[in-house]
Chain A
Amino acid sequence: MTDEKTIVLIDPEVDGRSVLADRLRMQGYVVNVSGNPAEGARAALADPPAAVIADLWMPSVSGVQVCRLLKAESATEHVPVILRGPDAPRNRFWAERAGASSYVVKGRMGDLVRALRDAIAATPADGGFFTTFADEDIRDRIAAHLDLALFESVLAAEVRSLSTCGAFDRLFDLLSQFVSRVTSYRWLAVSTDEPRRIGLHANPSSRSQAEQEARAALEPGDDALVVAVEDGDASDAAAGAPPMVRNIEFGGIRVGRLAISVPETEVAQDEELATIIARELAAPIRMATLVEESQRLASVDVLTGLKNRRAFIAAAEHEIARSQRYGHDLSLVLFDVDHFKSINDKLGHGTGDVVLTALGRNLTKQARTCDLAARWGGEEFVVLLPSTDLSGTLCFAERLRESIETLFIAHSDGRAVPVTASIGCATFARGDTLDALVDRADRAMYAAKSGGRNRVVSEPEARRTSSLTLSA
């Protein structure tokens, strides 16, 4: 073999192409001229040249179509394609998007020679793999590649549209519905790094095996929560090919991972699918995570880590509706730190904050998982206790009072800050609103204050005391 570089030149204009071919031959190239775009593309595929030069506008098959075909075929993916046409930014843009190495304005011979030399110099060596098609197959081939490109672009747009979900659970649910229509898989899993969790779609009959395999593939950490979607849209095949795993990166930083387990026969065509989904999923995942985080921040009291008042009210309204529907008991505990103003005044606001933080932590520890604890405002805290009657609530409140009294809270000089709280309890009566319930607990709490602080008073008790006072 010699060092001679072969160029395939596609130009439907007879005069134009012979002049151009001669000029290129003078530069030392071997020029294979074709007036028919499909024939030129076929020749390039059958014997990959050093470069292809084609006109942008040609009858029947455009230069952009030739370029896309050559870039999509294994035989010519590395072959630089130079497109020629009128001087228009839009043409240049479209040529570059089709994969052309450069776009040269027709008639500018010097530009063409330079572009050709640069493109060939930048081309890595290839093994000379070729593909031979019958002439008539070339147009079908162009149509097939275009269809595939369109499919991939629609797929990408569908995944990107998940950006509006705002929550990972919903995002994953919609993603699994969509992907299960595009390919048949045993399981689909998406993990996020922050917070650590996995969305898993599997067939109910093989869910635990799927979870095991997904955890092994994604390595999300042992503490990762699993959000599972189970239905028959996922195959119940016992075994498949090794799962395809892709990182999901947003702005160069990994935000999660994607894994799909497909049957052995599907692997080849789904490799690309997995890559596209993982690429397009980055923005939706990031968006959902940000929305969730901002919602969390909007519902959490930063100082104590408890729910804030707004979040408490929303959750409590829900709990009240449920208790009313099922006729369950429901009680509320409201407490206020005794002499908090004097702690702030004498020991400083810093110590006041330390006290509130310690009380928040203590309350989280004392409350059962189903209880709803929140910072009501200032130095007031609230706990809603589902399925708990008044005596159970008093029991809880007394335990809470004792835990606060014995809590060791250190002032900055190391001395203990003695803290107690006055606690009011009220239980839900049919037809009650949250406001009414809080109001009754509030009255009980004031009764505890006026009764000498550091004590628990229930609302019926407070009512008896006040009526006693009135009748006295």
Chain B
Amino acid sequence: MSTKRVLIVDDSATVRQQVSQALTEAGIEVVEASDGQIGLETIDSDPTIAAVICDLNMPRLNGVEMLAAVKAQAKHQALPILMLTTDGQPSLIKKAKDLGAKGWIVKPFKAPQLVAVVHKLLGTNGAAADAKPKPAQSAGAASD
């Protein structure tokens, strides 16, 4: 699979737009979902999703519930999921870790940090992307 895309799950259009912009400018393709339920369906149906950035408080299915539902499926064990939220409650962070989340980012986030983290998760070359925004994807494809 040459295309690796990042799914952004957040009920706030503003946050989706911020995250999306930060990643797109770094040459990372994104897909958006407006709640956990849609996020879960997208993960199940779109095999190009290689990482997920997920909000905590959302209608229908919240972030922790979505995380649990995704990780309950064997085929998604390796899918890295990042929680992105203003909440930093230690018990929630612990729960996310235990459920199999890859990381927890407390907002406000800095675009370069988020980009670096996503590159690391995708196994793409972040340094190359910083120098030349466009070839980020080709770096990922070249390593395949």
Give residues in A with beta carbon < 8 Å to B.
46, 72-75, 127-134, 137, 141, 145, 148, 268-269, 271-272
Contacts and interface: CB of A to CB of B under 8 A. Distances in A.
B108 A134 contact: yes
Contacts of B92: 268
Interface residues of B, number: 21
A74 B95 CA distance: 9
21 contacts: A72-B90, A74-B90, A74-B94, A75-B97, A127-B100, A127-B102, A129-B97, A129-B103, A129-B104, A131-B93, A131-B104, A132-B106, A132-B109, A132-B117, A133-B88, A134-B106, A137-B88, A145-B90, A268-B92, A268-B95, A271-B91
Contacts of A271: 91
A129 B103 CA distance: 5
Given A74-B90, A268-B91, A129 B106 contact: no
A209 to B, nearest CB: 28
A252 B110 CA distance: 50
A132 B101 CA distance: 13
Contacts of B101: 129
Interface string B14-29: 0000000000000000
Contacts of B88: 133, 137, 141
Given A132-B113, A132-B117, A137-B88, A74 B93 contact: yes
A131 to B, nearest CB: 5
A128 B91 contact: no
Contacts of A127: 97, 100, 102
A269 B109 CA distance: 26
Given A132-B113, A132-B117, A137-B88, A73 B105 contact: no
Interface of B: 88, 90-97, 100-106, 108-110, 113, 117
Nearest to A268: B91
A131 B103 contact: yes
A132 B108 CA distance: 10
B99 to A, nearest CB: 10
A73 B103 contact: no
A145 B94 CA distance: 14
Contacts of A131: 93, 103-106
Contacts of A268: 91-92, 95
A74 B90 CA distance: 7
A133 B108 CA distance: 8
A75 B105 CA distance: 11
A374 B130 CA distance: 92
A75 B109 CA distance: 18
A-B pairs, 3 with minimum CB distance: A132-B105, A130-B103, A74-B97
Given A128-B102, A132-B106, A73 B91 contact: no
Given A74-B97, A75-B97, A133 B91 contact: no
Contacts of B117: 46, 130, 132
A150 to B, nearest CB: 15
B106 A73 contact: no
A128 B120 CA distance: 12
B101 to A, nearest CB: 7
Contacts of A141: 88
A269 B90 CA distance: 9
A93 to B, nearest CB: 26
Given A132-B109, A132-B117, A75 B91 contact: no
A357 B127 CA distance: 91
Given A75-B93, A75-B97, 17 more contacts: A46-B113, A46-B117, A73-B93, A74-B93, A74-B94, A74-B96, A74-B97, A74-B104, A75-B103, A127-B97, A127-B100, A129-B101, A129-B103, A130-B102, A130-B104, A132-B106, A145-B90
A73 B94 CA distance: 8
Contacts of A72: 90
Contact of A133 (B90, B95, B96, B106): B106
Contact of A137 (B96, B104, B106, B113): B106
Nearest to B120: A47
A303 to B, nearest CB: 57
Nearest to B106: A133
Nearest to A269: B91
A132 B90 contact: no
Nearest to A267: B91
A233 B110 CA distance: 46
